[in-house]
């Protein structure tokens, strides 16, 4: 039962009690007063007295009647007031108590105690309020822990190149490290990594805030894939990894932001190249399902353990951190951003692998335009 009904019934109840008392008083108390008066008059046997009395009787009847009604109303009023006070106390305590609890809990949360939760008092609007409050508290707690983790991750990521640059500079100052072009190149690489990281962080924050501005147009996915492949082919040739495009020949129309989808495909192909040793192969397959267009990037590289299939989409997650670093790997946010971009297009991105050393497949699915 909702609150509107509860209020209505409680007030109706107050009115009904008042009316009941009024009805009871006028039905029993007033006539009794009258009959007492009349009985008193009949006992007087003197006719003169009787006539005199009759003259004043009208006035007396009226006065008595008013008196009776007034006293009845007084009784009704007092009873109604007590009932109203009792009912409103009951109702307001039912409403005010949970509201006060919500107010107190909000203060707690404002002070940083995100674990605060409340028990829903009933299944009406108050219950809904408390449930929304709990939901908000839960989301705030998740955001806060994400924020803390992000600060930890970012400082960890910044620490390594900074420590390395500082180490080189100290070595150069002390004359331990020779001031050769190679040394400067190493320092330059570390500075570049910092720059890449800052760029990735900007992208990530935009993606996570859902602030990716998408310029959506109907595009042929097959054509986009072919463009990216043509651009990256020289790197595949350099490393000795075969790259093939197969699947549907016809145009596959999707409504996308071309640059963003190119960014996703570049990331998938870049990873496939990075984690596939020379002599391996990468196959890109485009196909059409009933309502979507699918792009699969399959490699014969190092593969992924089943527990890493979802983790690789978490920010800063790298399966083998040291290998990624030494192999010039990114900061581990590429796939996180890619998934955000795909989800902003109402599509899906996921990974499949038969296990370590068995290659992996990254599948991108976009709704058919």
Q: Which stretch binds ligand ADP (CB under 6 A): 45-53, 60-68, 179-187, 333-341?
A: 333-341
CB 5 within 8 A of CB 11: no
Select 21 or 299, whichever has its Cβ closest to ligand ADP.
Answer: 299
Least Å distance, CB 231 to ligand ADP, is 18
Give the alpha-carbon dihedral of 16, 77, 21, 64, to 10 degrees.
-140
Q: Give the Cα separation of 163 and 144 in Å (integer).
A: 28
The closest of 275, 232, 268, 282 to 341, measured between CA atoms, is 268
Least Å distance, CB 255 to ligand ADP, is 25
Q: Give the Cα separation of 92 and 88 in Å (integer).
A: 6
User: Token pair for residue 251?
Assistant: 């145009």
Q: Which stretch binds ligand ADP (CB under 6 A): 137-145, 182-190, 227-235, 317-325?
A: 317-325
Q: Which stretch binds ligand ADP (CB under 6 A): 37-45, 95-103, 226-234, 329-337?
A: 329-337
Select 68 or 331, whichever has its Cβ closest to ligand ADP.
Answer: 331
Q: Which stretch binds ligand ADP (CB under 6 A): 154-162, 182-190, 301-309, 339-347?
A: 301-309
With binding defined as CB under 6 A, does residue 360 bind ligand ADP? yes
> Residue with the closest Cβ to ligand ADP?
330
User: Token pair for residue 19?
Assistant: 């009316």
Least Å distance, CB 332 to ligand ADP, is 4
Size of the site for ligand ADP (CB under 6 A): 22
Residue 359 sits at the vertex; the CA angle it makes with 354 and 364, to the nearest 5 degrees, is 85
With binding defined as CB under 6 A, does residue 332 bind ligand ADP? yes
With binding defined as CB under 6 A, does residue 284 bind ligand ADP? no
- Please state at what angle helix 258-274 crosses helix 334-344, rounded to 10 degrees: 150
* Residues 6 or more apart whose Cβ sits within 8 Å of residue 318: 324, 329, 332
Residues that bind ligand ADP (CB under 6 A): 267, 271-272, 275, 299, 301-302, 304, 312, 317-319, 324, 329-336, 360
């Amino acid at each position: 039962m909702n609150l509107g009904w509860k209020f209505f019934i409680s007030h109706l109840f107050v009115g009904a009690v008042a009316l009941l008392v009024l009805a009871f008083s006028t039905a029993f108390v007033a006539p009794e007063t009258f009959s007492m008066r009349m009985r008193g008059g009949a006992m007087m046997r003197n006719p003169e007295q009787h006539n005199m009395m009759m003259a004043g009787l009208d006035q007396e009847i009226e006065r008595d009647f008013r008196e009776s009604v007034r006293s009845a109303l007084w009784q009704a009023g007092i009873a109604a007031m007590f009932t109203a006070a009792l009912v409103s106390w009951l109702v307001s305590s039912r409403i005010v108590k949970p509201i006060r609890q919500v107010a107190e809990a909000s203060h707690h949360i404002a002070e940083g105690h995100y674990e605060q939760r409340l028990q829903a008092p009933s299944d009406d609007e108050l219950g809904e309020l408390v449930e929304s409050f709990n939901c908000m508290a839960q989301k705030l707690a998740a955001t806060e822990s994400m924020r803390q983790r992000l600060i930890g991750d970012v400082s960890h990521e910044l620490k390594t190149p900074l420590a390395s640059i500082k180490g080189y500079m100290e070595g150069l100052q002390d004359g331990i490290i020779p001031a050769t072009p190679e040394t400067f190149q190493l320092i330059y690489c570390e500075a570049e990594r910092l720059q890449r990281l800052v760029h990735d962080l900007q992208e990530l924050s935009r993606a996570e805030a859902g602030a990716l501005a998408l310029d959506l147009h109907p595009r042929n996915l097959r054509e986009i894939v072919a463009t990216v492949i043509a651009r990256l082919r020289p790197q595949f040739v350099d490393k000795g990894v075969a790259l093939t495009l197969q699947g549907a020949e016809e145009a596959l129309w999707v409504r996308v932001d071309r640059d963003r989808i190119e960014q996703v495909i570049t990331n998938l192909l870049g990873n496939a190249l990075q984690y596939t040793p020379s002599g391996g192969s990468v196959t890109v397959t485009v196909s059409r399902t009933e309502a979507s267009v699918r792009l699969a990037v399959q490699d014969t590289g190092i593969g992924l353990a089943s527990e890493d299939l979802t983790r690789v989409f978490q920010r800063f997650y790298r399966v083998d951190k040291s290998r990624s670093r030494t192999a010039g790997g990114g900061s581990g946010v590429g796939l996180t951003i890619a998934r955000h971009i795909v989800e902003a297009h109402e599509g899906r991105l996921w990974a499949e692998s038969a296990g370590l050393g068995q290659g992996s497949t990254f599948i991108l699915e976009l709704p058919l335009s």
